[in-house]
Every structure is written in structure tokens, then in C-alpha cells.
A and B are shown apart, each in its own frame.
Chain A
């Protein structure tokens, strides 16, 4: 069977599974729709969180990014996993005890202010829309490459599927489809990684293969790759090309941003009690770690394979995968010196080959000449990763509209049944907007994904932490902190990413910190401003301080709030 038939088969089977689960787990109340009734077991929530979190960017993008940046890519590995430690220790148990539906719910109640609540809703919407556009694009890409339909058709198919199970099942449906999607995506990621690890090093565990000797040679794989890279004029794979301060800042911004992402936080509202909230954070990171420790190994295998296969070889003798990706424009060869050989070197004036890092995971099984069904499996895995994250984000968007804006501020007496209808309508609208951005992606999608992390770090994280750990933090302090944090972050991103406010180059960065790492600075400013301003205003009312006392104790979550 050829790759295309295999892909079609696997996609149809996995999609039928998702739809079947959605029908089985329909939502019948707003509590079902927003937080799956609060009855999700810790293990299932861990699986769902892992699928929710690992997007097309983690599945398709990260190994490629690592492959092309070497050590510098470590910021993503540590940043996107270390954030779960913060989430598990500092946020999840307390937010679960608080026991509402959304992050703006917490911020609005803790800071007894609808203005603060609205700021939080705006941030949640901004973060989620940015993300979801990228996911839809990922769905479109996989469809177009493997099933040879146009990207737009791919986006529309993806929209219909998400629409079906997100609107019907809400959080309940999403949770159990995400469990299935995790299984599909991790299987799809591990199988080719294990194959290639055996092929290159003889060790079936990629995490160990990465540090082993090349099969049949005396050299270690990593040393060989460092040598190959340096010989061609690239930075040695295991060396860093960024300043230490910048690496520290980017890692911290990604960690804190991860802990502040509303679609991740909301998953911890779905478990029955505080104990399970803690435990499911552990499961989530464990399941994420399986992929995140394999990705750097895949990156090393892919980079070595690529350098060996193409570098200095005649263009005419390139294998079939090379031509296929050339037609998508993601591999570009320009024979500058006209010798018919591919010069792939670090010096940009002589380099003749441009490879888009995004193709690494998709092309890797083909480069390593693995069987057709493995190649098709990767496509199904990429779709699972993109769809699961898209669904989680769409739910945050629809909840923000139907619950945080309409129910909490505008029409407080709305019945549960009407709110559920409203939530479903919001979900339909959100899917359509996301689909639109998937088909007409704004140029700034990539830039705004970094912005989303910076924003989450600069706004939500300090407000939530102070809300839990500093009883005397008042609405004036928290609001001032959030506004300053977001403001400074936006200014820095707009100036250095979008060339506004006079623009500037890397030389003009403050302390040499890149916009990706600036979230750390903005977060610190938020903390400083919040603490200073709060000193000048009255302490929060007694009943709010009582809420803080209460969320610190695990007992009684899920019941009506005591006291």
C-alpha cells in the first residue's frame, strides 16, 4: 500500500474514533460543558492535559527547531516542561480549591472588580486566538502534503471535526477525545524515533541512542554531529550562540508563560479534588516528558542524516522525498556556483540550500527510508496534536464569551440551559473565526505566539500568584501590575517585532534581551508595581481575605464554598 492510502486509512480510523467518543460524552449542563462536571479522574486529566498542551508546534515543529538550533533549542525543552512544576506547586491545587470555571473567574472574584475581570478576559481571548490560528494552519499543512488536497480544504475538514466534538461535548467531549489523541500522537512520535534510533545507533531507546556511538563506528553520535557542523561552518551542535542572560530570560518567560496559559490552567478545574489536581499535574508532565525527551534525540538523528545525505552531493541524485518537499517550497536549492552539487554551509553567501525546520518531523521517516505505514502514522499524529490543542483553546474562547462576559457581567439571571446554548453558539463562532485565520493566516502568527507567552507571563502569572500567596494584595495593586506588565511587554514586542515606536535591531535590545525573553522582565515589573502600589491602598475586604485563607486548605473542594 502506498503512503497516501495508508494516510487516508489512518486518518479515517482516528477521526471516527474521535467522533464516536464525542457522541458518547455529550454535555448536558454548563458544568459538563465548561469543566466536564468536575469528575475527570487524575490519570485521564493528565493524558488530556498532555494532548491539550502539545500542539502542532510541539509535535511537528519542536524537533525541527532543535535540529536547526542545537543547544539553543534547550530553552524550549526546559521552558515548556519546567512551567509544569510551577503550575503543580504554585497554581493548580489552589485554583482547583477555588472551584470556579475559568481563570478570569478567579481574578475577578479575588480582586473584587469587574474591570480586573475584563482585563483578564481580553488577555485570555488574545492568547487563545493567536494559538488556535496556528493549529488550524498545521491541520491544513498535513492534509495538503499527505492527502494532496489544498491547504484551505484541509483547514475546513479540520474545522468541521473540531466543531462537531467541541460544540456537542464541550469540555467533557474534549477531555475524552484528548485522551485518545494523546495515545495516537505519542505512538506516532515514538515509532519512527525508535526505528531511526536503532538504525543509527543500535539502541532502541532514542533518549539513550542520542548519547551512544554511531552504529559500527567508534565515534559518539553527538561528537560526529559537532564535527560535521563545524566542518561546514555551522555552530557546533552542542554549543550556544546566544548570550547566557538571554537564554535565562527566554527559559524563564516560557516557563512562567506555560503556567499562565488559560487553556492549560482550566484543565485542573475538571478533577474531583485538590489531591487529584496535584497528581494530574504530575501525570501531565510525565506524558509530556515522553515526547519532550525524545524530540532532542530525533533532532540529532535528523540533523546528522540531513547533513550526510545532502551536503556536497549532486543535486541530480537526490532521493524522492527531496523533490516532493521542493514542490511545497519548504526545501529550496539554488545552485549558486553552477557545479550541480549541493553546498550546504554556514556561510550564507555560499550556502545553496534552505530547509524549513518545520518539515523535519514529517520528512524524517522518509529521509530514513522507513516503511509507508510509519510515514502515514506521523501524519495522523500531527493531526491529533493540532486538533486536540485547537479544541482546548476554542473552549476557553467560548467560555470567556458565554460565561465571563455574558453571564458574569451582562445578563446575570440567565438560566443554565440558555447559558449552555450560548456557550455552544460561542464555540461555533470561535471555530469559524479560527478557520478564517487558518485559511488567511496573518503574517504575524509566528511572532504573536511568542507574544502570547510573554503576555501570559506578564499578566496572569503574577496576578494569580499574589492572589494566592499574598493575602493583602488589593485590586489597585494587582490591576496596576497587570496593566504595566502587559503594557511594557506590548511596547517591547511592537517595537522590536513589528517595527513600531521607532523600531530597532538586536543591538538596541535592553540588556541584550530578545523580545521572546522579555516576558521575564515584564513579569518582574508586574510584581514590583503590584507590591508598591498595593502599599498605598486599603487592604482587601475581610471576605476576600477569607477566600484566600480558604483556598490554601485542600479540604472541601467541590462542595459549596464554606464560611
Chain B
């Protein structure tokens, strides 16, 4: 069995790294852009939207959807790398 296969500790560490990365983005678009820095971002206009208001009512939601699908892809790759995928 070659090295990365079935190493639960390394698998879990990589998983946690993905989680921290993705949850940071999750925090930044909602709590950051939509709430904390809303006023500053509103100075930037896209069409009729202030950017802060756009993030709060539209943008954050789009990013959330993308984040989950990115997570799905990353984890499927990780599962294969360590031999934990279902088809193996």
C-alpha cells in the first residue's frame, strides 16, 4: 500500500485545512462585506447596487453556493488521494 493511502491523521489534517480556508471566505463575504464593511463598500456602485448592499442581499448567497460545490470537489479529490472514496 503506497504512502498516502489510508492515513487517517493526514486525511483529517488536510480536511481541516480546507474547512478553515472555506469558512474564512464564508465569514468574509457575509459578516465582512455584507455587514462590517458595508458602508465603505457602498461607495462602489455596480448598476443600481451599492456593493455592500449587494453582498448582503445577493452576493453572499451566490458565494455560499459556490463554496459548497468547491468543498464537494476538494473532498472528492481528497477521498481518492487517501483511498477513502466509495468506488475504491
Contact = CB atoms under 8 A, between A and B. Distances in A.
Contacts of A85: 22-23, 26, 64, 67-68
Contacts of A555: 79, 83-86, 88
For B19, B54, B60, which residue has the most chain A Cβ atoms within 10 angstroms? B60
A552 interface: yes
B79 A552 contact: no
A274 B79 CA distance: 11
A293 B61 contact: yes
A296 B30 contact: no
A220 B48 contact: yes
Contacts of A213: 48
Nearest to A279: B72
| B: interface residue count bin | 35 or more
A278 B35 contact: no
Nearest to B46: A211
Interface in A71-85: 71, 74, 77-78, 81-82, 84-85
A359 to B, nearest CB: 21
A361 interface: no
Contacts of B69: 282
B6 to A, nearest CB: 9
A248 B35 contact: yes
A273 B86 contact: yes
Interface stretch (A284-292, A323-331, A411-419, A525-533): A284-292
Contact of A238 (B22, B42, B86): B42
A426 B22 CA distance: 41
Interface in A45-99: 66, 71, 74, 77-78, 81-82, 84-85, 88-90, 93
Contacts of A289: 61-62, 64-65
B35 A251 contact: yes
A398 to B, nearest CB: 30
Given A74-B56, A244-B36, A82 B30 contact: yes
Contacts of A274: 86
Contacts of A244: 35-36
B58 to A, nearest CB: 5
Contacts of B50: 238
Interface string B71-88: 110011001000111101
Contacts of A220: 47-48
B31 A278 contact: no
Interface residues of A, number: 49
Interface string A524-559: 000000000000000000000000010011110100
Contacts of A210: 48-49, 58
Interface in B3-41: 8, 11-12, 15, 19, 22-23, 26, 30-31, 34-36, 38
A92 to B, nearest CB: 10
A473 interface: no
Contacts of A293: 57-58, 61-62
A173 B29 CA distance: 38
A433 B11 CA distance: 47
B56 A78 contact: yes
A71 B36 contact: no
Nearest to A83: B64
Q: Which DSSP category, helix, strand, loop or mixed, fits chain A's interface? A: helix
Nearest to A90: B19
A251 B31 contact: yes
A222 interface: yes
Contacts of B71: 88-89, 278, 282
Nearest to B42: A238
Given A78-B30, A248-B31, A212 B48 contact: yes
For B8, B11, B36, B72, which residue has the most chain A Cβ atoms within 10 angstroms? B72
Given A293-B58, A552-B12, A82 B47 contact: no
A181 interface: no
A221 interface: yes
Contacts of A211: 46-49, 54
B34 A74 contact: yes
A207 interface: yes
Contacts of B86: 273-275, 554-555, 557
Given A78-B56, A220-B48, A89 B23 contact: yes
A125 B10 CA distance: 39
B60 A88 contact: no
Interface in A252-267: 252
A385 interface: no
B75 A278 contact: yes
A482 interface: no
Contacts of B30: 78, 82, 251
Given A74-B53, A78-B34, 15 more contacts: A74-B57, A85-B26, A85-B64, A88-B68, A89-B71, A208-B47, A211-B54, A212-B48, A238-B42, A282-B69, A285-B68, A289-B64, A293-B61, A553-B84, A557-B86
Interface of B: 8, 11-12, 15, 19, 22-23, 26, 30-31, 34-36, 38, 42, 46-50, 53-54, 56-58, 60-62, 64-65, 67-69, 71-72, 75-76, 79, 83-86, 88
20 contacts: A66-B57, A71-B56, A74-B53, A77-B56, A77-B60, A78-B56, A84-B68, A85-B64, A88-B71, A238-B42, A240-B38, A248-B36, A251-B35, A274-B86, A278-B68, A282-B71, A282-B72, A286-B65, A289-B62, A296-B57
The 8 A-B residue pairs whose C-beta atoms are closest, nearest first, are: A220-B48, A74-B56, A211-B47, A282-B68, A211-B48, A296-B57, A211-B49, A222-B48
